[in-house]
Homo-oligomer: A and B are copies of this chain.
Amino acid sequence: MASEKPIGLFDSGVGGLTVVREMFRQLPQENLIYVGDSARCPYGSRPVEQVRQFSFEIMDFLVEQDVKMIVIACNTATAVSLTEARVRYPVPVLGVITPGSRAAISATRTERIGVIGTEVTVSSGSYAREMHRINPRLQVVSQACPPFVKLVEDGDLDSQETERIVRDYLAPLQHEMLDTLILGCTHYPLLQPVIQKVAGSKVQLISSAEETAREASFILAEKDLLQTDNPAPVHRFYTTGDAAHFTDVAERWLERKVEVRSLSLGIK
């Protein structure tokens, strides 16, 4: 019983497009609906309850669109809404934190893992908790990097000023002898070149985007929901922010034309 229904994804803005790009690559036949909540971005410095409300408002919208699966393509929203969402909705809901955690456990050789993310994600302790459930011996150190999301939303990916900011925020991790660093925010893979340069070539960066697409593939296969024989998949993009700006970022990152619609959400 393969399913032609779309997969629904959302993020606080353009960060979740890193997951979309991986979905294109790893699940090229799936129909997708993406919501980027740029008007209310960033989520990462907001009160938890507000992020929770925003997340459920968007997931309700996706379920109304009859999606077969929800991917919370945002670490902050995953940290505050995944557990509840899995009970609330009749479709599988996948976050980005457990895939990134499992990938880091698989990648590390020294059992010293770093996590960078938004303030909400880091203070939730979700990554460390998830990894310690599986392996209590792991050393996990975290660092919140509040300005990174705005750099990405503004498209400021490789200036000298960006490198200086990245260097400042990674400085506390430089003496931790990490061999693996989790990019614990879906915006961060767009900064991957500068983060890799600052962290050094010996540190393996884990992109939640790549891992999440892989686990989505796995869940769809397990539940017999994979879309096969669909050479012309439909991808719909919605943004609550400026559609022209979103289109610009999306087309550069996804390397294809996209049609972006405006979406108005109630809670401000």
Residues in A lying within 8 Å of B, measured CB to CB: 22, 25-29, 98, 102-103, 105-106, 133-137, 210, 213-215, 217-218, 221, 226, 228, 231
Contacts and interface: CB of A to CB of B under 8 A. Distances in A.
Nearest to A138: B28
B98 A221 contact: yes
A210 B106 contact: yes
A103 B102 CA distance: 14
Nearest to A106: B214
28 contacts: A22-B106, A25-B105, A26-B102, A26-B105, A26-B106, A26-B134, A26-B135, A27-B134, A28-B134, A28-B137, A29-B134, A29-B135, A98-B218, A98-B221, A102-B214, A102-B217, A102-B218, A103-B214, A105-B217, A106-B210, A106-B213, A106-B214, A133-B226, A133-B228, A134-B217, A134-B228, A136-B231, A215-B218
Nearest to A227: B134
A109 to B, nearest CB: 9
Nearest to A98: B221
A218 B218 contact: yes
A85 to B, nearest CB: 15
A120 to B, nearest CB: 23
Contact of A135 (B28, B105, B134, B214): B28
A136 B230 CA distance: 10
A97 to B, nearest CB: 12
Contacts of A27: 134
Contacts of A25: 105-106
A210 to B, nearest CB: 6
Contacts of A28: 134-135, 137
A137 B213 CA distance: 18
Contacts of A29: 134-136
A140 to B, nearest CB: 15
Contacts of A215: 218
Contacts of A226: 133-134
Nearest to A214: B106
Contacts of A218: 98, 102, 215, 218
A213 B218 CA distance: 14
Contacts of A213: 106
Contacts of A231: 136
Select the residue from A210, A214, A217 with max chain B CB neighbours within 10 A.
Answer: A214
A191 to B, nearest CB: 20
A98 B214 CA distance: 11
